[in-house]
């Protein structure tokens, strides 16, 4: 099976412009797309990353991406794409809670992630009871994703 794997490279800090007090804008980036396996895609990415300072990577929670970054760029800054993380929280909450409780749980979870309380969120997630195999599978999938986030991400969200 082939996947289209997109990636956008941001580099050259001279091309970062201040927009406001707490906000910057990147004016140059490179986009890499590949139709095929992830190994060939990652080889293409290596070709466009400039040498010099350790790069900053923004990615979803896929372990193969984080493992590759650790292997090739252990000193890099790694940032989890916030919307991918929120998507996982919402998918689980939709299955587990009523609509009203899901909204509250997701907002509390997001707040914990933003304030670097990942360990608390993981503990709360582990303590949730799952009454059927489907919920257990969803819960374990989210736990694995969150553990990946907490072990690979050095600087938080984008």
Report the predicted TM-score, pTM, of the whole model to 2 decimal places: 0.63
In 11-157, DSSP assigns E strands to: 16-20, 23-26, 29-36, 56-59, 77-80
**Are 13 and 51 part of one and the same domain?**
yes
CA distance 70 to 7: 17
Give pLDDT, residue 148. 63
Over residues 89-142, the pLDDT tens digits come to 898 899 888 999 999 999 999 998 888 787 888 888 888 776 666 677 777 777
User: Where is pLDDT greater, at 10 or 49?
Assistant: 49
**Residues of the domain holding 21:** 3-80
Instruction: Look up residue 133 and give its two tokens.
Output: 């195999």
Could you tell me which residues come within 8 angstroms of residue 15 by beta carbon, excluding any fewer than 6 positions away? 26, 27, 28
Measure CA 21 to chain center.
25
Last residue within a domain, chosen from 46, 80, 114? 80
SS3 56: strand
Over residues 78-91, the pLDDT tens digits come to 777 778 888 888 98
CA distance 118 to 80: 13
Last residue within a domain, chosen from 63, 80, 97? 80
Residue 30 lies in a domain: yes
Our count of domains for the chain comes to: 2
C-alpha closest to that of 28 among 42, 16, 46, 18: 16
Place of tokens 């707040």: 111
Give pLDDT, residue 2. 42
Give pLDDT, residue 155. 45
Residue 157 lies in a domain: no
Last residue within a domain, chosen from 30, 48, 80? 80
**Are 74 and 7 part of one and the same domain?**
yes
């Amino acid at each position: 099976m082939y996947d289209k794997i997109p990636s956008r490279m941001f580099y050259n800090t001279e091309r970062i412009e201040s927009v406001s007090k707490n906000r910057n804008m990147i004016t140059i980036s490179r986009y890499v797309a590949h139709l095929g396996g992830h190994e060939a895609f990652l080889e293409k990415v290596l070709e466009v990353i400039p040498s010099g300072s350790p790069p900053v990577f923004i990615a979803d929670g896929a372990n193969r991406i984080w493992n590759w970054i650790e292997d090739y760029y252990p000193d890099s800054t790694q940032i989890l794409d916030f919307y991918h993380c929120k998507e996982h929280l919402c998918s689980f909450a939709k299955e587990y809670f009523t609509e009203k409780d899901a909204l509250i749980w997701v907002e509390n979870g997001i707040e914990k992630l933003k304030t670097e309380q990942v360990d608390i969120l993981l503990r709360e997630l582990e303590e949730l009871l799952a009454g059927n195999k489907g919920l257990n599978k969803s819960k374990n999938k989210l736990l694995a994703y969150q553990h990946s986030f907490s072990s690979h991400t050095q600087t938080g969200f984008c």
